[in-house]
Chains A and B, each alone.
Chain A
């Protein structure tokens, strides 16, 4: 017997039942290719990346976005509420908060990306050495354990206490505070990569260790490293704001979000907007970087994405 949907094929002998083929209920998914398709599949990357791009544009084109000189004092215009002339109001020295916030984007992005880059490069080097060179491993990891047991903000504060406040020193201090975590991560990845059959094969072929590191180990650490770098970038921006806020960060003359908030602190009960606007910008930028990091993690390491 056969169903009415499909006539029995000629080769089927009489009396043998043939099931009808299943209808195409589930259409095969057509994944869009290219960059646009990638963004559509990972909306968090698209959204975070877009926000970050906007912030970059703000940082680069700050002088052309209807800003005034962010350091120009105007004692007559002290603590004005937001208005058409001063979109975010003015602070206690009469400086335009809108201009200061926009210029502050430069400091935050510079610190965030500077720290992410420096900490990645140094942490990657230390992690690779520690993971590949057995005798160095125990020494390096003891030192890293020690540094990791100092809360990273305190470590950065302590280093800033030694030096003059400048953007470069802030980047240096936060980088040193972030290195232990990065080298830990890289070392863990290297230790598991070292047991892979292709590394054994390379050793058996007589490949020299530096070549193994360069060709077989390093490329495989880059994916987790990229994800980690975005999180470092986010935490570095927050740390910079905290350092400046408590007066141990960028010098007060440079408009950074932490500095603007520190200056608004005394007046926040009556003029909350001085603190509010830099806080808003900081939160949005950090959120953008975090979303980008989460998206990258999901796209680069699907196994991890299911777990966390």
Chain B
């Protein structure tokens, strides 16, 4: 078991190396010459060449890549071209809203989608099942920002139940914090709910045909116990896997949701960085999101033994 955890952790290193190589190439092939920018308009070609040498920009690709990776391991993501602040500090300033949004969405989506899928499988073929499947198709089809604007229009502008836009830090209290996150979380959760509900239904349909479910029925087990204890526990591995894969959807969707609801998080940081072509910030954000995604899926891989004791490493 312990050996497996070590092996599985080591297996993420080549993946992160590919990500790092891609992200580094991004800056390497980005248009614009940093040395020429720093030298200014009056500089002679010799000046530009001297600045390039002093920045180390004239050395081979792999040498620069190696140094860059070495700095990142030490926690140095470089300095923003636009604000001159360290990228790590800019990310740290913006991480709370994004993290809050993603955690609230995750909890909301799982608590809605899993029961939806379970009930659809239990009543398979009925109108409930068809309604859930119809909702899933809609969830995949209506983009995040469309749901976001519709929700904001009805529940914030017309009904005035929630604030229209913005974000309140958690330290100002749970109430204001959550009221700002409800609508964005529902908008962001749409695709995620559809994905989880669909896979839950499919796995549960298979599990419900097993002998031990018939046994549970025969001994007169409570329906709810049978569904949510006997069956759901055995369907857990694919469901948990898809929850992990879906985190990529959450990350991509957060970028848009934060724009719609004017939440000052990492998504907004990304959008601003793109518009200003602030490559160090773009690199830093992509690296961090990919790292989180790889980490989440690593933890999920390792959690399989909790759900299925037959899996031994």
Contact = CB atoms under 8 A, between A and B. Distances in A.
Contact of B15 (A149, A248, A272, A279): A149
Contact of A287 (B141, B145, B290): B141
A234 B194 CA distance: 15
Given A150-B286, A153-B252, A247-B275, A242 B18 contact: no
Contact of B31 (A162, A261, A290): A162
B270 A154 contact: yes
B202 A294 contact: no
B137 A149 contact: no
Given A246-B271, A272-B153, A307-B205, A157 B141 contact: no
A291 B137 contact: yes
A147 B290 CA distance: 9
Contacts of A245: 145, 256, 259
A146 B25 CA distance: 14
Interface in A96-146: 142-143, 145-146
Contacts of B144: 242
A150 B290 contact: yes
Interface in A258-274: 261, 265, 268-269, 272
Contacts of B16: 146, 149
Contacts of A286: 140-143
B137 A294 contact: yes
A214 B141 CA distance: 35
B146 A279 contact: yes
B122 interface: no
Contacts, number: 137
A159 to B, nearest CB: 8
Contacts of B17: 146
B251 to A, nearest CB: 4
B137 A248 contact: no
A155 B146 CA distance: 22
B202 A308 contact: yes
Interface centre among A151, A247, A282, A283 (most CB of B within 10 A): A151
Contact of B14 (A146, A268, A308): A146
Contacts of A248: 271, 274-275
Nearest to A289: B141
Nearest to A235: B140
A133 B30 CA distance: 34
B228 interface: no
A241 B294 CA distance: 27
Interface residues of B, number: 54
Nearest to A146: B18
Interface residues of A, number: 42
A170 interface: no
A232 to B, nearest CB: 13
Interface centre among A150, A153, A286 (most CB of B within 10 A): A150
A143 B143 contact: no
Contacts of B23: 158
Given A161-B277, A308-B198, A268 B143 contact: no
Contacts of A152: 248, 252
Contacts of A241: 143, 145
Contacts of A147: 18, 22
B142 A283 contact: yes
A290 B137 contact: yes
A275 interface: yes
B144 to A, nearest CB: 8
Contact of B141 (A154, A247, A290): A290
B250 to A, nearest CB: 9
Interface string A155-191: 1011011100000000000000000000000000000
A142 B18 contact: yes
Contacts of A265: 259-260
Contact of B255 (A143, A246, A269, A308): A246
B91 to A, nearest CB: 14
B162 interface: no
Interface string A288-308: 001100100000000000011
Contact of B143 (A145, A161, A238, A294): A238
B274 A157 contact: yes
Closest 8 CB pairs of A and B: A146-B18, A153-B252, A287-B141, A279-B146, A151-B248, A151-B251, A286-B141, A151-B252
